[in-house]
Structure 1
Amino acid sequence: MANEFFRAYGGDAAVSLTPGANGRLEVYLDGDKIFDRKEEGNTYPDLSRVRKMKEVIKAKLESVKVAAD
């Protein structure tokens, strides 16, 4: 998943993976949780779910670029 984000956005989106207790997997973007394995039935994100997260990241990056202009 981190590789998917890196390939799509390179250095524009920083991704860090931190191990958690009990197989916890959460993905945060600028402090907002965009994925929580526990909240989504303890399943790992499939390709479709990763694509949705990439869309959220893309929208956030675009809004930051617009604000900077």
Structure 2
Amino acid sequence: MTKVLKLIFKDENGKDTVIVLHNPKDVDADTAKSVMQKIVDANIFEKAGLNLYATIVGAKYYETQSTPIFNAK
């Protein structure tokens, strides 16, 4: 099973932007909010003059599982 943590923000235009962390440690809501607020406060991620991570939306874990059908060897 593969696990990722998605940190979801809105940019200055109100469009969702996401940071995806692969194989994350388990974190609680307070830790996620704190880290995300530091990203917002740093204001160092921009594209074409637009702040990509202007406001916090939320954080979610996603888990995917694969089931092999066969392996060709």
**TM surpasses 0.5:** no
Tell which has more relative contact order, 1 or 2 (C-alpha 8 A, sep 6+). 2
Q: Which has the higher strand share?
A: 2
Q: Which has the higher helix share?
A: 1
TM-score (norm 1): 0.32
TM-score (norm 2): 0.31
